[in-house]
Structure 1
Amino acid sequence: MSVTPSPLTASSSALSHAALTVRLRAAGCVFAEDEADLLLATARTPGELAAMAERRALGLPLEHVLGWAEFRGLRIEVDPGVFVPRRRTEFLIDRATTLAAPDAVVVDLCCGSGALGAALVSSLGRAELYAADLDPAAVACARRNVAGLGGRVFEGDLYAPLPASLRGRVGILLANVPYVPTSEVAFLPPEARDHEAQLALDGGSDGLDVLRRVTAEAAHWLAPGGHLLFETSEQQAGLAADIVAGDGLVPRIETCEDLYATVITGTRPN
């Protein structure tokens, strides 16, 4: 991992870096040396570095400590409590990029930080971007992340806050819905379980409750030939594909072994 040194990094001794690495490793950080590099490169003063190191040692996600996460080559701002974009989800954006038409209308539901919409539009070069989330903290964060791309972010439940004029026009519908079954949320890593919004993690009894609500209306919002894309676990993929088909979309399951990612695409027939 390459990090451009900040003035703080350049003036810090090797011992300071070593001490920080030791502290992070003692706190259970697997990639302690890389995290020390990032903290040193981000902190502007020794006092800020000490505070950041303390927060990380207490178990806060690295991205919340830094204030940003890297996602598909972009630096995405991530506020405390907001869902941190996972690297595996880059596979979803890879698939969406291959399917999107020029000047696509893109909607990012359950947008969290807005990372998915921002990454897709950045890849396409040109697109009309809309996003929505129920969490006010996520909405505030997403607005900053998509502002430079001309995106608009709405606060509300799934499709409810979106402009009605989008019905039947959406070419790519990204829906990074929660898919962890309620009974399994307690077994998530503490960084997610204790520091990210519950509504971004809990997918209901079988993990697919929110997905059912998304697919139930998807065909009304998608343009003919438009695509809904979402991530799920390998174990849930068969049932999720059946749900997609039951709501009038043609499902396709794709996996990426390198990223341990499973993506389902539901296409509205022409």
Structure 2
Amino acid sequence: MSLSSTPLPHSVIVTRLRAAGCVFAEDEAELILSTAANPAELAAMVDRRTAGLPLEHVLGWAEFRGLRIAVDPGVFVPRRRTEFLVDQAVGLTRPADGPAVVVDLCCGSGALGAALAAALGRVELHSSDVEPAAVRCARRNVAGAGEVYEGDLFEPLPASLRGRVGILLANVPYVPSEDVELLPAEARVHEPRVALDGGDDGLDVLRRVAAEAPRWLAPGGHLLVETSERQAARAEETVARSGLRARVVTSDELYATVVIGTRPGTGDGR
């Protein structure tokens, strides 16, 4: 029997992952073992992980709000803390009134829109991202649930959505430019900088989204943006300056901070 046809023992995988600095080596070994289709693929996956590739890129998927989200190399990996943003969006919708009109900007893998569609059952979902690799990945993840467009923020969206959007998800990049080099190598090296770098103070993309959001939101519609705890006050002010009613919600458990901006008016934005 050739070496390529002999599966690596669990103990060997754990040892190699620990030596490479993987804190959760036992858990990662189980995931890799359960994903690999054959011994050769298993060995290749372990090699990629020990070389520093993010676990989700090695597996080809990330778990997000109970879903397996396809994540290709070079695509931003959805973070567990961002589940809190989707939770807030779910709480702001009333499915009994009909499908919510949802826009997911900076959609990356499409995880947020896919998770919201799964939670609500029916939505009119429109997602966009500037990265071609992300768009290809998102189209796989939201297939059958919505449309994915390639372009900068609102630019590629159909004009017919203006004034109709009930939920506007925007997981914008918010790491200050000078802090990007301080990120773990898994993010800094293997994820697109455009998905991480938020400009000098981390709020450049948020400012652009907030400035345009009132023209796209329906009366009573909501903008939801993730940010950091230290940026929360300035992010809230930015959203409020656009004419939206702004508030900050947090989750200590997920270490998550979300700014919600609501367009004044009657109705709930559907």
Per-residue CA distance 1:171-199 (angstroms, 9 max, x = gap): 00000000000000000010000000000
Per-residue CA distance 1:107-166 (angstroms, 9 max, x = gap): 0000000000000111011110000000000000000000032x1000000000000000
1:237: which partner in 2?
232
Taking the aligned partners of 1:34 and 1:255, their CA distance within structure 2 comes to 28
Q: Is the 8 A contact 1:181 1:203 kept in 2?
A: yes
Taking the aligned partners of 2:89 and 2:37, their CA distance within structure 1 comes to 38
1:83: which partner in 2?
76
- Of the three residues 31, 35, 46, the one matched with 2:28 is 35
Taking the aligned partners of 1:44 and 1:171, their CA distance within structure 2 comes to 42
Taking the aligned partners of 1:148 and 1:78, their CA distance within structure 2 comes to 18
Amino acid at match of 2:186: E
- Of the three residues 224, 245, 254, the one matched with 2:249 is 254
Amino acid at match of 1:173: L
Q: Is the 8 A contact 1:251 1:265 kept in 2?
A: yes
Alignment of 1:264 with 2:259, yes or no, is yes
Taking the aligned partners of 1:33 and 1:245, their CA distance within structure 2 comes to 46
- Map 1:145-164 to 2 at 5 A: 145-149=141-145, 151-164=146-159
- Of the three residues 135, 153, 173, the one matched with 2:168 is 173
Which consecutive unaligned segments of at least 5 residues does structure 2 have? 1-5, 266-270
Q: 1:27: Cα distance to partner?
A: 0.2
- Of the three residues 102, 106, 115, the one matched with 2:102 is 106
2:89: which partner in 1?
96
Q: Secondary structure at the match of 2:201?
A: coil
* TM-score, structure 2 normalization: 0.94
Q: Is the 8 A contact 1:181 1:202 kept in 2?
A: yes
Q: Secondary structure at the match of 2:142?
A: helix
Per-residue CA distance 1:244-270 (angstroms, 9 max, x = gap): 110000001010000000011000000
Q: 1:45: Cα distance to partner?
A: 1.1
Q: Secondary structure at the match of 1:70?
A: strand
2:268: which partner in 1?
none
- Of the three residues 11, 14, 19, the one matched with 2:12 is 19
Amino acid at match of 1:68: W
Alignment of 1:137 with 2:133, yes or no, is yes
Amino acid at match of 1:177: V
Taking the aligned partners of 1:168 and 1:101, their CA distance within structure 2 comes to 18
* TM-score, structure 1 normalization: 0.94
Report the RMSD for the aligned CA atoms in angstroms.
1.0
1:62: which partner in 2?
55
Task: List, as ranges, runs of 4+ consecutive aligned residues in structure 1 with deviation greater than 2 Å.
Answer: none
Taking the aligned partners of 2:247 and 2:57, their CA distance within structure 1 comes to 34
Amino acid at match of 2:127: A
Q: 1:101: Cα distance to partner?
A: 3.0
Amino acid at match of 1:131: S
2:3: which partner in 1?
none
Amino acid at match of 1:77: A
Q: 1:100: Cα distance to partner?
A: 1.6
Q: 1:105: Cα distance to partner?
A: 0.2
Taking the aligned partners of 1:94 and 1:21, their CA distance within structure 2 comes to 34
Amino acid at match of 1:99: L
Which consecutive unaligned segments of at least 5 residues does structure 1 have? 1-10
Taking the aligned partners of 1:100 and 1:243, their CA distance within structure 2 comes to 24
Q: Is the 8 A contact 1:255 1:261 kept in 2?
A: yes
Taking the aligned partners of 2:90 and 2:33, their CA distance within structure 1 comes to 35
Q: Is the 8 A contact 1:101 1:171 kept in 2?
A: no
Taking the aligned partners of 2:140 and 2:41, their CA distance within structure 1 comes to 23
